[in-house]
């Protein structure tokens, strides 16, 4: 089967699957459950040095002088690097691409040369014989920072005379979408409803802080074994070191959580510089505080909706104004902003749409990728707005959604026809039903329910020309090997590839071994970001396995004296289903094939749909390969005396096309429920004058076992996606609707809305008093 022949719409087809669609134990599970899996921080080397990063504790200032001589003189200190010791190169902050394209003028300084733009900006790198010596050296570096006026909110950053963090005007990205005629649409409306919603800075809070180990090998190649979502930053690292791309290799390990926080460059740049300078192995392990201070955050957004609606609840026009705090460096802000703008209308048919958006630089911590990537913030706004519209009109909230939902075959606000099933309504119906009987209120405890539905892309922006490669081979004993650069960040990215290969080659998942995450020796698969790993690399494995299967079937047909279309592969056998006398084991088949010179491996590339960028003025054109639709529904109890919210029921219902491993899909939905609950109720990074004042888990509160209800998962399978076997994506979509569902449930319980996340007890009590 070639790429073009993958059936995109198989809803009616009777597909027999033997491995795919089963809740198989993941290939990575046993190593993790027994503690045998080695994470990046568990590797050591003889002669290894220990690194540390000195950072600015002021957000906006001028480094007047920095003197590392005392630190360098300390016995056991091998190297201290400052900006003066580095060539005047920059570090890329762009998305790694396979095309060699790169944005202009958005790079950052590697170490502070003079101007400090955010709290935590690195001043110096230390490598010493022991961690204790590195700590001492850290204290011996003398420096003076002259504070400068900074700008810490997006409105102030646009004032005339505001300090300029990013030239020329602090605006680092803008996107517009124009569809239909909003003036006409508002004229047709019976009601116009306007609200502004705010979201906060939040932290990925993966359990494994950033860590890595680098060494220069005998060929002069800088090797970096590290915890990352993106091994293909090796190119940017090579550029920063001033060496050819083939002289840097990044090896991954199982990643202890990513969520977008290990998408940008983290420790690998510092590791590479220190390994290059010392020619010794260097280990750098961030402390939790380093991690809080050292990587980009989720963008705070302000999203204003102005919606025109008829008295029957038909939306006639929508205007949205979006602004995002991009912090002190550009990183992925322009893309996050685009995601928010494209997602802003939600899964609704709206003929007249006008969206304006801007990402604005401040001296806050830079913001970048975070599960949901702007689309999550968009959903916080549009789903709250739907409930507010229903309240104004006196229409049932769910009925209002039904009257406006996009249906299969509809176009998005950018004019992109969605080629897959649009089952937002089906998902909402099932999620609501699963909530069951409503819990009874008692005294000051009020009960509320809320849903949020969504439309969210999977796969990268289509003008990035995204590709992914995988290699599949069968050994002479009939076992299977998959090689692909994909990084596994805990969602079972590698194991899913094994399940796809097992399905197509007629073996069990136990018969497959997967080698992944090595930029030098595994075919490059792109990033584990953008809900793309299963979609893209799954398709590459599908193609490679299918092509290999075709050759094996043709060879087996010769051996079994049958026609190729009569031969099937399953349970480790090649056989003719209608003739029990004609069968042979895959082991014998592979061995016979080897002796006859049969090619027993296949390298395949999958290419996402390629498009040109959308029109800058209208935003019209295709933006993403495809979209996932779904719904999260919750029931909450709110103590109106204390403002405390307890989530009683939490249900995610998502059409994910085809579950490759349903248990892993449930894992995503359950994890998304937790992360979204924290986003709604408790998580917020507090910056004062740009300085993070909550850099620990005792101040930054993620939900614990005490806070979480049992989460129910409903998996719908339209088999209509672009992924393998009609799969869509679930990694990010699982999170997106959770926070707005909780916000809507709280508003339902207390009869008034808190417009700013997180919805803390203080805000609830204040809202109730007003």
List of residues contacting other proteins (CB under 8 A): 23, 25-26, 28-39, 41-42, 132, 204-209, 254-257, 259, 285, 287-288, 489-492, 663-664, 666-667, 670-675, 696-698, 702, 704-706, 708, 710-711
Q: Which is nearer to other proteins, 207 or 513 (CB)?
A: 207
CB of 34 to other proteins, least distance (A): 5
CB of 495 to other proteins, least distance (A): 10
Side-chain-side CA neighbours of 194 within 13 Å: the count stands at 5
* Nearest-angstrom CA–CA distance, 631 and 452: 6
Sign of CA dihedral 741, 744, 749, 754: positive
CB of 563 to other proteins, least distance (A): 41
CB of 650 to other proteins, least distance (A): 8
CB of 30 to other proteins, least distance (A): 6
Nearest 10 degrees: Cα torsion 49, 261, 731, 362 = -170
CB of 706 to other proteins, least distance (A): 5
Q: Which residue has the tokens 């806070």?
A: 707
Q: Which is nearer to other proteins, 36 or 65 (CB)?
A: 36
CB of 753 to other proteins, least distance (A): 26
* Nearest-angstrom CA–CA distance, 543 and 537: 10
Q: Would you put residue 506 in left (φ > 0), alpha (ψ -120 to 50) or beta?
A: left
Q: Which is nearer to other proteins, 156 or 708 (CB)?
A: 708
Q: Which is nearer to other proteins, 26 or 549 (CB)?
A: 26
Structure tokens at 674: 């937790």
CB of 717 to other proteins, least distance (A): 18
Cα distances (angstroms) measured from residue 709 to each of 454, 664, 704: 22, 19, 10
CB 503 within 8 A of CB 488: no
- Could you give phi then psi for residue 532, rounded to 5 degrees? -115, -15
Q: Which is nearer to other proteins, 25 or 169 (CB)?
A: 25
Edge-to-edge strands of the sheet including 248-251? 77-82, 122-128, 49-55, 282-285, 211-216, 222-226, 248-251
CB of 651 to other proteins, least distance (A): 11
Q: Which is nearer to other proteins, 162 or 713 (CB)?
A: 713
CB of 508 to other proteins, least distance (A): 16
Q: Which is nearer to other proteins, 35 or 168 (CB)?
A: 35
Q: Running DSSP on this structure, what letter comes out for residue 56?
A: -
Q: Which is nearer to other proteins, 114 or 710 (CB)?
A: 710
Question: For residue 450, how far is the Cα from the chain centroid?
Answer: 25
Structure tokens at 138: 């850290």
Q: Which is nearer to other proteins, 111 or 742 (CB)?
A: 742
Of 367, 364, 368, the closest CA to residue 118 belongs to 364
CB of 120 to other proteins, least distance (A): 17
CB of 553 to other proteins, least distance (A): 33
Q: Which is nearer to other proteins, 11 or 693 (CB)?
A: 693
Strands (E), 94-151: 108-109, 115-116, 122-128, 142-147
CB 494 within 8 A of CB 28: yes
Instruction: Render 303-349 in DSSP notation, one character per residue.
Output: EEEEEEE-TTS-EEEEEEEEEEEEETS-TTHHHHHHHHHHHTT-SB-
Q: Which is nearer to other proteins, 324 or 502 (CB)?
A: 502
CB of 273 to other proteins, least distance (A): 24
Q: Which is nearer to other proteins, 3 or 289 (CB)?
A: 289
Q: Which is nearer to other proteins, 52 or 753 (CB)?
A: 52
Nearest 10 degrees: Cα torsion 20, 25, 31, 37 = 40
CB 651 within 8 A of CB 742: no
* Nearest-angstrom CA–CA distance, 237 and 351: 46
CB of 55 to other proteins, least distance (A): 17
What crossing angle do the helices spanning 424-435 and 397-404 adopt, rounded to 10°?
Answer: 160
Q: Which residue has the tokens 């968009």?
A: 378
Angle at 625 between CA 621 and CA 631, to 5 degrees: 105
CB of 297 to other proteins, least distance (A): 15
CB of 382 to other proteins, least distance (A): 24
E strand or H helix at 54? strand 49-55
Question: For residue 337, how far is the Cα from the chain centroid?
Answer: 15
Q: Which is nearer to other proteins, 319 or 666 (CB)?
A: 666
Structure tokens at 70: 């005392």
Side-chain-side CA neighbours of 400 within 13 Å: the count stands at 24
Q: Which residue has the tokens 């204290």?
A: 139
Q: Which is nearer to other proteins, 376 or 576 (CB)?
A: 376
Instruction: Render 705-747 in DSSP notation, one character per residue.
Output: TTTPPPEEEEEE----SSSGGG----TTTTTTTHHHHHHHHHH
CB 27 within 8 A of CB 499: no
Structure tokens at 651: 């249900």
* Nearest-angstrom CA–CA distance, 339 and 319: 16
By DSSP bridging, strand 301-309 and strand 222-226 are unpaired
Q: Which is nearer to other proteins, 690 or 733 (CB)?
A: 733
Q: Which is nearer to other proteins, 421 or 713 (CB)?
A: 713
Structure tokens at 397: 């909230």
Q: Which is nearer to other proteins, 35 or 100 (CB)?
A: 35
CB 257 within 8 A of CB 285: no
Angle at 679 between CA 673 and CA 683, to 5 degrees: 125
CB of 516 to other proteins, least distance (A): 15
By DSSP bridging, strand 573-576 and strand 568-570 are antiparallel
CB of 705 to other proteins, least distance (A): 4
């Amino acid at each position: 089967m070639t790429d073009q022949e993958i059936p995109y719409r198989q809803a009616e087809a009777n597909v027999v699957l033997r491995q795919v669609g089963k809740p198989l134990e993941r290939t990575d599970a046993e190593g993790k459950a027994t503690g045998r899996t080695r994470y990046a921080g568990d590797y050591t080397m003889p002669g290894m040095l220990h690194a540390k990063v000195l950072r600015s504790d002021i957000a906006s200032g001028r480094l007047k002088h920095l003197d590392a001589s005392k630190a360098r003189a300390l016995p056991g200190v091998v190297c201290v690097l400052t900006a003066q010791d580095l060539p005047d190169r920059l570090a890329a902050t762009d998305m790694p691409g396979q095309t060699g394209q790169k944005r202009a003028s958005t790079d950052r300084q590697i170490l502070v040369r003079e101007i400090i733009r955010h709290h935590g900006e690195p001043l110096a790198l230390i490598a010493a014989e022991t961690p204790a010596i590195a700590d001492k050296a850290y204290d011996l570096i003398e420096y003076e920072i002259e504070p400068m006026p900074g700008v810490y909110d997006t409105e102030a950053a646009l004032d005339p005379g505001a300090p300029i963090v990013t030239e020329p005007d602090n605006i680092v990205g803008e996107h517009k979408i124009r569809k239909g005629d909003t003036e006409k649409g508002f004229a047709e409306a019976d009601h116009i409803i306007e609200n502004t919603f705010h979201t906060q800075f939040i932290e990925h809070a993966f359990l494994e802080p950033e860590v890595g180990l680098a060494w220069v090998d005998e060929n002069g190649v800088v090797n970096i074994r590290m915890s990352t979502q993106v091994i293909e930053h090796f190119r940017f690292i090579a550029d920063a070191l001033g060496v050819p791309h083939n002289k840097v290799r990044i090896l991954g390990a199982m990643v202890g959580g990513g969520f977008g926080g290990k998408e940008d460059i983290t420790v690998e740049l510092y590791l590479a510089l220190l390994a290059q300078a010392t020619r010794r192995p260097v280990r750098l392990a961030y402390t939790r505080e380093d991690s809080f201070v050292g990587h980009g955050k989720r963008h705070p957004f302000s999203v204003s909706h102005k919606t025109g609606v008829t008295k029957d609840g038909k939306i006639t026009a929508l205007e949205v104004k979006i602004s995002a705090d991009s912090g002190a460096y550009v990183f992925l802000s322009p893309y996050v902003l685009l995601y928010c703008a494209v997602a802003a209308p939600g899964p609704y048919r709206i003929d007249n749409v006008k969206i304006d958006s801007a990402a604005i630089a401040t001296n806050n911590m830079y913001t970048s990728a975070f599960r949901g990537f702007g689309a999550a913030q968009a959903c916080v706004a549009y789903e709250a707005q739907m409930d507010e519209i229903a309240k104004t009109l006196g229409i049932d909230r769910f009925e209002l959604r039904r009257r406006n939902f996009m249906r299969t075959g509809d176009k998005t606000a950018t004019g992109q026809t969605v080629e897959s099933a649009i089952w937002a309504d089906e998902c909402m119906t099932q999620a609501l039903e699963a909530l069951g009987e409503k819990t009874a209120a008692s005294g000051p405890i009020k009960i509320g329910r809320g849903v949020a539905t969504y439309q969210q892309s999977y796969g990268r922006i289509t003008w990035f020309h995204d590709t992914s490669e995988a290699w599949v081979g069968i050994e002479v004993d009939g076992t299977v090997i998959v090689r692909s650069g994909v990084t596994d960040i805990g969602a079972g990215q590698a194991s899913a590839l094994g399940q796809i290969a097992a399905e197509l080659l007629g073996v069990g998942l136990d018969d497959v071994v997967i080698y992944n995450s090595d930029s030098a020796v595994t075919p490059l698969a792109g990033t584990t970001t953008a809900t793309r790993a299963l979609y893209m690399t799954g398709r590459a494995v599908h193609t490679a396995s299918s092509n290999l299967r075709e050759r094996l079937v043709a060879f087996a047909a010769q051996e079994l004296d049958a026609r190729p279309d009569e031969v099937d592969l399953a349970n480790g056998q090649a056989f003719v289903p209608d003739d029990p006398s004609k069968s042979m084991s895959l082991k014998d088949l592979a061995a016979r094939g080897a002796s006859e010179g049969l090619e027993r491996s296949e390298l395949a590339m999958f290419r996402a749909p390629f498009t040109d960028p959308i029109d800058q003025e209208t935003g019209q054109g295709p933006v993403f390969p495809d979209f996932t639709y779904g719904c999260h529904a919750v029931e909450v109890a709110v103590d109106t005396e204390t403002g405390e919210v307890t989530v009683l029921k939490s249900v995610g219902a998502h059409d994910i096309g085809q579950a490759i491993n349903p248990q892993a899909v449930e894992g995503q939905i359950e994890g998304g429920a937790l992360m979204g609950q924290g986003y709604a109720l408790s998580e917020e990074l507090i910056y004062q004058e740009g300085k993070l004042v909550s850099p620990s888990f005792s101040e930054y509160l993620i939900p614990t076992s005490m806070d979480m209800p049992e989460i129910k998962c409903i998996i719908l399978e339209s088999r209509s996606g672009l992924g393998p076997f009609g799969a869509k994506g679930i990694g990010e979509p699982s999170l997106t609707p959770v926070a707005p569902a909780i916000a809507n449930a709280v508003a339902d319980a207390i009869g008034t809305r808190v417009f700013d996340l997180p919805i803390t007890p203080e805000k609830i009590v204040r809202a109730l008093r007003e």
